[in-house]
Chain A
Amino acid sequence: MELFFQQLINGLSLGALYALVAVGYTVVYGIVQLINFAHGEIFMIGAFGAYATWVLMGSPSDWTATTSLLVLLPMMIIGGMVASVATALATERFAYRPLRGAPRLAPLISAIGVSVFLQELVRLFFGKIPGMPDAKSSVPFPDIAGISGATITLGGVIIQMPAIFTLAALAVSTVFLWYFVNRTKTGRAMVATSQDPDTARLMGINVDRVIMAAFAVGAALAAIAGVAHGLMNGNIGFRMGFLAGLKAFTAAVLGGIGNINGAVVGGLVLGLAEAMASNYLGTTAWKDVWAFVLLILVLVFRPQGLLGAKVVDRA
């Protein structure tokens, strides 16, 4: 039973990470019907932005837990967000907007190109920035006092602080997203645009601005996920966005692409499926197999995903 709860925690924290990234796929898809395959790289750049912020703050390693949690970590998250949002807006402006009216495969290929470009950019040039380490192989993520290595033990189950951070980040982000979508003008403009872009434009909504907002929101959450990834796994690297992006995209489809709550649910379900499958269904080698079997089963019986709308594809 202890092992069950341990895997539950493992699965939930991994799932929370997937969910934070999955939101970025889903908001962009909901508005422009683009599968932004470069989003995994936005997540990676968020992690590197946070790392760079840490270096710019003088690589502090002897701060107390309180100052680390109240100053260092928020600064790193903001630094990561600046990097990821700027990158996301730049890719939207230069790689996707010129292809807005093109057939749907064109922006998809463009997204794959952006993904490769961003990976190589970090691989080749991150180390060229003064003070930054070479990023051609994995870079150890800084230890944050109070989080890294700290654990809480509950009846034999060890809960690591980075896992709690990730779950808390997902909870806060979900509340923020709900507020943003339902209570702000930009958020409601986003909903309107996703329902009917032409009518939304006629109603005076600046569709370009709404699309930029969608990219920015997704990138900001991806940056939080990037920091969470660094804290949970201890390393970041230029390739980290590939598999995480693939899994997050899977989570978005599982939950129903285009639906924000679906992305959160899909992420958590996928993470749990992986953790439980590696424990109860064969060895850990099979975890990805079972995760994708689950995806196929869900899509066979609910093609729109767990929480997806009845008609998703309207193009």
Chain B
Amino acid sequence: MNKRIYSLAGVAVLAASLALTGCGARTDAGTGGGTATKVAKIGVIAPLSGDLSAMGLGIKNSVDLAIKQANASNAIPGWKLELAAEDDQATPDVGKNAATKLASDDQVIGVVGTLNSGVAQSTIPVLDAAHIAQVSPANTNPALTKGADYTTAPARPNANYFRTCTTDDVQGPFAAQYLLGAGIKKVATVHDKTPYGQGLVTEFTKAFTAGGGTVVDAETINPDDDNFSAVISKVKAAGPDAVYYGGVYAEAGPLAKQMKGAGLSVPLMGGDGIYDGNFMKLGGNDGDLATSVGAPVETLSSAKAFLDGYKAAAYADGYSAYGAYAYDAANAIIAALKTSLASASDAKSAREGTITALASVSFDGATGKVGFDKYGDSVARVLTVYKVVDGKWVAEKTGELK
């Protein structure tokens, strides 16, 4: 009896694998032979489900838009670009699997992602081993490009990694300068223990105390927690004029709501992780603040192609905080592909060339000047402080970090 089940199962598995390989072969022949164009894929690794899916889907759609526009204008003659999106569920392990999957696909030549710095830590080494370029629209942890000792001895750990956004060592101090400029000298900090949140708060604290401010209380929350009453009571007892939060909107929204409920009516300020419409939906209050990288997308003339294209494509989800950076990241890869794919016979052999070409890319993108320094960081250091007014984010102050 048992033997029969095993042999049946074996036959089924065999049949399934035959069917699958058969399928794969047919599609390859179809695209390769029929149109005489070669295919190169740009991967996306981002949270497409879960609490951060609003940002992740914005990234995916924006990359999709860049690819469609490049194909329409025949940006790379003889080549057709395709999107290969993988969900990382904002989890390092899942992200690593996604990176492994993309790395094993010979047509993948570059990857846009990830959203979370913590996930990037596990995807970069996998993609580096396969010589695939990774351009992140959103990782702000300085250590990713400059190594663990980024303040004292910066050293680039992975040559394949670039990013179009600025980093925490710029965002935190910018927030500190803004609060000091607004006359706020006493701040409590809270972070969510992720590399991102901790990085923001560390850099903020350094700049804030150096500028003459006092951090009256430093707390942490657990991202899985929903009830922050104990933290809020403690923060309130310290009597701060503002709360600086290192983390993302999924916790920042409820935190802001519960702060107000507990009678702690001071603004909550965060980084780009809370700069999303969902922050207000989940409880963010008028007067709360966020820093985000670059100038407001809507005010840049160079962003028009992106905004119009995104609207015309009628995606179900908005481009969110990182859409424009993802669009620029995809276009940076496409710009590099123009050099690296020009004489290449297949995508895999052009992977190294793409990384080399990315280092010298330079153009005006949706977020401003796009280009990378010797660490792979964005050359743009422009930031903006946003404030919630009538339930919407409104640009408060744009500037370059001094």
Residues of chain A having any CB pair with chain B under 8 Å: 2-3, 6-7, 10-11, 13-14, 17, 123, 136-138, 140, 149, 151, 153, 158, 160, 162-163, 229, 232-235, 237, 239-240, 242-244, 274-275, 278-279, 283-285, 287-288
Contact = CB atoms under 8 A, between A and B. Distances in A.
Given A3-B237, A10-B233, A13-B229, 5 more contacts: A14-B229, A136-B49, A275-B229, A283-B220, A284-B231
Interface of B: 49-54, 193, 218-222, 224-227, 229-231, 233-234, 236-237, 250, 253-254, 257-258, 260-263, 278, 281-283
B221 A284 contact: yes
Given A137-B51, A137-B250, A234-B254, A11 B226 contact: no
Nearest to A279: B234
Contacts of A235: 226, 253-254, 257, 282-283
A284 B233 contact: no
B94 to A, nearest CB: 14
12 contacts: A7-B230, A136-B49, A160-B262, A234-B257, A234-B283, A235-B226, A235-B254, A240-B226, A278-B231, A279-B233, A283-B218, A285-B193
A11 B227 CA distance: 11
Contacts of A237: 51
Contacts of B225: 243
A162 B261 CA distance: 10
Contact of A284 (B49, B219, B281): B219
A137 B55 CA distance: 11
B194 to A, nearest CB: 13
A229 B229 CA distance: 12
A11 B229 CA distance: 9
B258 A239 contact: no
A136 B221 contact: no
B220 A285 contact: yes
A234 B259 CA distance: 11
A242 B258 CA distance: 21
B263 A242 contact: no
Nearest to A276: B230
Given A160-B262, A233-B226, A6 B233 contact: yes
A239 B51 CA distance: 10
B227 A14 contact: yes
Contacts of A151: 261, 263
A6 to B, nearest CB: 4
Most buried by A among B229, B231, B237, B258: B229
A23 B170 CA distance: 49
Contacts of B226: 229, 233, 235, 240, 243-244
Contacts of A279: 230, 233-234
Nearest to A238: B50
A240 B250 CA distance: 12
A221 B374 CA distance: 59
Contact of B224 (A13, A163, A229, A242): A242
B282 A288 contact: no
Contacts of A158: 262-263
Contacts of A288: 222
Contacts of A6: 233, 236-237
Contact of B250 (A14, A138, A287): A138
Most buried by B among A17, A138, A158: A138
Contact of B258 (A7, A233, A287): A233
Contacts of B236: 6
A162 B52 CA distance: 27
A140 to B, nearest CB: 6
